[in-house]
Amino acid sequence: MRLVNFAFKMATFMISLWVCVTSLAALIAAIFSGFSIYLAYLHWKYSHIPGPKRDSFFSGNLPYILTERAKGKTIFEMVDELHGTHGPVVLLFVFNNPFTFVSDPELVRKCVITLNLPKNPRVYAHLGYPFGQRLAGRGVLNETDHDVWQKRRALLNPAFHRRYLMNLMSSFNDSCNLFLEKLGEMADGKTVVNMAEEFARVTLDVIGKVAFNVDVDTIQDANSPFPSSVYKCLKGVMLSLRTPFWRISVSTFADQRSVIEACQFIRNFGKKVILDRQEAVLRGENTPPDILTHILSVKEKQASITTEDLVDDFVTFFVAGQETTSNQLSFTLYEILRHPNVENRIVKEIEDILGSRQFLEYKDLGNLQFLGQTLKEGLGLHPPIGGITRVSTRDENIGGYIFPAGTSVNISQFLMHRHSDSWKDPLQFDPDRFSPEAKGEIPHSVYFPFSLGPRTCIGQTFAQIEARVFMARLLQQFELTLCPGQDNMKHEEALTLRPKGGVLCTLKRRNEN
């Protein structure tokens, strides 16, 4: 009897197991069939937009992208080649995600200015929350609701007005003094200095002191955790974007943990700075009218704003304000040192304007005309932000092709700054293309290193003051020489575009006997 009962129970169990397995298999088959039908529908829906043939029905153009990336190409360099084959509008598929790329001055203007396409929330969600960890959240850069963004931007604008920034020259010069003092210790003509790393450190120091009145001490402290944390955060955003199934991707678990820890470190630092300032205000202490003050004013005027929301804006300015200027200085210095005639003109201009005076006053910035042209050309050939992404909210005719509602529209500064139909010798480093005589010849929609349209970078004036001060004083005091083997600078994508391998130089005091 027991044997019969056992057999009956086993039979019942096996039947139940078979039903479960069959049901699960049926569910998986239904999901797979549904996804395949949906994917086929998307391919048909976008079949009229030109682009390379998909390598795979399911992964789309991902194999091609990975192959080209393995060759050291950035996504912008890949798309540049595709535009040459397929025209100014190109489509790439990654799994079930269609991405369009637009490369034509009129189409750029139409997308960003005429249509004023909003930022793509699917993309900016990764900047706000890489791997689900809050980084920049819904700060002023990431906010995709135009009305919400406009109100917050209006409250923050005064912190970046020239009338305020011109009073910060002492702070810029003080940080520069520390920077040059450190370089002076290595200015023996032999010691190899990675200027990209040094620029990264000093720009962190500046954004800390000038914007938030805190000393992060990155110039002197070789073990400061800030440079590596910022880099990990930015790389994490890229990895998060490029790993659609990161929640189940075992191969990225270690990277995810590293990124999450870096995000937490930066945000905890920002929260402490904010809380310390709020306590100082409550104690009645005098506090500087810096960017942090204006960030806090947002909470005063919008009661719904939380401390975490304030940290979003802190992180946005702390990371973006440092990274873009650092890369601009690195790339521009690299080009200056490759073009001795450019360097000589800058040094002569500095001598004429400053003489032996080392402190830069606000009025000096405008008088350093050729240096300003050179920095603009550096941004042209090597824009720190390689591209912007928008999304169509309804069906739009762009370049003769109907972009369905919800289409990701990608526009690249990197490509437009090298657009052969818009620039003469676009790959040549020529600061004179930004001279007062030639400036009017540059179409507005082919040069936009700080973005284009209503969503231009709020910190661009801050960044350009900082860049002029540091480049002028660096070249005034030091003669730099590129180390051999850097004839063809490559770009590294870490959300921003960085000089791959850095900028390796030796230094000696200028006019040193």
Half-sphere exposure of 505 (CA within 13 A, CB side): 25
What's the pLDDT score for residue 1? 58
For 250-286, the pLDDT digits (tens) are 778 889 999 999 999 999 999 999 999 999 999 999 8
- Which residues define the annotated binding site? 457
13 confidence band (pLDDT: 50, 70, 90): low
479 confidence band (pLDDT: 50, 70, 90): very high
- Which residues define the annotated binding site for heme? 457
**Nearest-10 crossing angle of helices 253-282, 226-242:** 130
Q: Is the pLDDT of residue 391 over 90?
A: yes
Q: Is the pLDDT of residue 119 over 60?
A: yes
Q: Is the pLDDT of residue 176 over 60?
A: yes
User: 72-81, 104-113, 292-301, 324-333: which range is least confident on average?
Assistant: 292-301
What's the pLDDT score for residue 8? 60
Q: Is the pLDDT of residue 173 over 80?
A: yes
C-alpha–C-alpha distance, residues 364 and 349, integer Å: 11
Whether the full predicted model's pTM is greater than 0.75, yes or no, is yes
Q: Is the pLDDT of residue 9 over 70?
A: no
All structural domains of the chain with their residue ranges: 48-114+386-448
- Can you give the length of the chain in residues? 513
Q: Give the Cα-Cα-Cα angle 498, 133, 326 (nearest 5 degrees).
A: 20
What's the pLDDT score for residue 4? 59
For every residue of 129-170, DSSP letters joined together read: SGGG--SSTT-TTT---HHHHHHHHHHHGGGGSHHHHGGGHH
303 confidence band (pLDDT: 50, 70, 90): confident
Q: Is the pLDDT of residue 113 over 70?
A: yes
What's the pLDDT score for residue 38? 93
